[in-house]
Structure 1
Amino acid sequence: MKKAVLLFSSMIMILSLMNCSSGKKAFERGDYDEGLLKAINRLRSSPNNKKARETLKYGYPITIRWHQDNIARTKLSNNVFAHEYISYEYAKMNRIYNEIQRCPACLRVIPNPKTFVSEQAEAARKGAEVRYNLGEDLLAQAKNENDKSKAMDAFYHYEKANQLVNGYADTRDKMEEARWFATTKVVIEEVTTGSTMLDISAEFFYNKVQDFMMQMPVSPFVQFYSPKEAQSLQIETPDQIVRLKFDHFTVGQVYHKVEELVRTKDSVIVGQVKDSNGETLDVYGTANAKLIVNTKQLTSNGLLDLKIIDPYTSRVLTQEKLPGQYIWVSQWGNFNGDEEALYPEDWQIVNASEVPPPSPQDLFVLFTQPIYNQVTGKLSNFYSNYR
């Protein structure tokens, strides 16, 4: 037991030492920022740690010089995003500055750390300007060429500009403008049944499909609307239309069958007698019964036509014929003869009564459930490929 406790304590101590690294190894690997930040964190918990002090003392000027060299090389490059990358370098040096300022033991080693706040802000501003201008060019091209992919790229440039400088120019408005132009707007038409004989509504089915599509994990540049929503947003011609129509359906096709089944069991107790000594004895014989089984079956089925259409060209982008079926069954019955001849499953039928079938509307909902599963699968596969 003592050995186990000592072993556990040793493991905890080793893990603590690993977590409280001085940063020297990381620094020697060339991970300057990681090594320096580890040294700073170590000095916060252990102000007199010799290795951490040494790492910070010789590592700080090397790290700052390394970032400044990166900045100098980037300025000489032809990279269109040079200012953006330069702002990241300044941000890393400013993080080191802030961490040292929050560490009294570190300030005794590096009493005057350098800050580059104004340099970072200027580089970020220039980087945001580049991104904004690229967004402007791409959005103009997108509108002229009706190119949604260019509008998407414009959105990302505006978004990056806003990340570099929060609220830069009118980037938030531009982001929404680019997003709206880049978005594939899909209207889900209401389901038509084509039935004039039955008072059947497909509203429940339509609402389920619509709810699924509204929550479907797709690209942020694909949006689904009901016809009313599209009208309220003044979307006169959407990019795509999802059209759902039942080619045909049958609700509650009745099939009624009556069967007579013979049940026979040998060696069953059919009575009792007393022997000469007065003892009661079982009498075995054959039990016979006639089981009458009533089966009522209502079959409901249909075929849904799923189309996704480009209304600008009337081109059918995809089309599927999706079947569905539901069979409602009720069984009840009675018997004549010996009850000993019946099996347990026979008693279930005998004890049952005829029950009224579901309404036509309920049967419609039930047979469309497998169709709904197919519709959602097809739509999910189709829109999962969108950027």
Structure 2
Amino acid sequence: MALSLKLPTPARALETYTLRGTQPELPERGTTFNRIAYSAAHVVADPLAAVDPWLQCAVDWDATIAYRRRLWSLGLGVAEAMDTAQRGMGLDWPTSLELIRHSLDAARDMPGALVASGCGTDHLPPENAKGVDDVIRAYEEQMEAIEKLGGKLIVMASRALARVAKSPADYEKVYGRILSQAKQPVVLHWLGDMFDPALAGYWGGSSQAAAGGSANVDEAMDTALGIIAAHAAKVDGIKISLLDKHKEIAMRRRLPPGVRMYTGDDFNYAELIAGDGFGPEAMHGKSDALLGIFDAIAPAASAALGELARGNLDRFHAILGPTVPLSRHIFQAPTRFYKTGVVFMAWLNGHQSHFTMVGGQQSTRSLPHLAELFRLADAANLLEQPELAVRRMKTLLALHGVE
């Protein structure tokens, strides 16, 4: 018997929605990939902790690590403590470091498990940064702590650097210092201001941003590429999250040999991962992945990547293509609130027992937004336990006065 429930529409009405009943696509046992694929994994909050959620961070460590084990079991790596919708929006640096420690410890029990950890400056309030030397010291503090645990670095974009930098030379100084000290090649991170408005004008300096420099992506790209070229041996790759596939393709074609492009484009990831086969350096005709959406679509992502590795491009797109409308909905503006949809998916699919988030971010999206997310998840064959998903959706509706 088909499952159905009443869902709100944008017109403030209720309509009956009947689920498709299509089983989720699962990867074959022993699936391997020909792309590196990291998921920016979410943190499971502790709903029973007696804290003020907007001010204090309480994590359910068992559930959080269990979710990472699930991602590893599907062949996906974990981009740890760099998620831009919780780090800096409820997940502080001390808790982030504890998260990194837990994750690295757990990964040692799973052969082949990939972990890369976010290294930033978020313990330095941007208004307290007086110059780039303060930013360097902040990066070095986190860098030392993560490397002491044996972690690989994702050097995250810095709000403090965006505030104090006056020119591309300031970025060159900061990144040059950090890269020269790295114990192993790092992943750099270029985060667009749609994810974090405080990063407007990144790579160009705050004065340029004030003059409209944030729109001059080409000049910013030149600065980033110059830094990478000067330290190519210390750069594994760069993740860019600009939600502009043309900019990503243009940049990946200019990367030095051996430096990867990790797509952070949650709007166009399927075609960017598939690639266009450009150029003599084969890796620069495609993108690897470091994506927030892979958290929400992990089984489908794993199955699709397995098909791609076997040369089945049509199957890759058949599996991953239907997830793109869901991702575009989850990451719609204000994009910085996307993690609400990711955690909602984890709750619907039974990977956590509650829909509560650090920072109280479960409140950042409306009921109609979540209802449409439910429809799109079903359309993409991503509801792993349909009966449970319907029960939990009905619980959320009741909480909002829809019986």
Identify whether the pair has TM-score above 0.5, normalized to the shorter chain.
no
Which has a greater percent of helix? 1
Return the structure number with greater relative CO, CA threshold 8 A, min gap 6.
Answer: 2
TM category, shorter? under 0.3
> TM-score if structure 1 supplies the norm length?
0.21
> TM-score if structure 2 supplies the norm length?
0.21
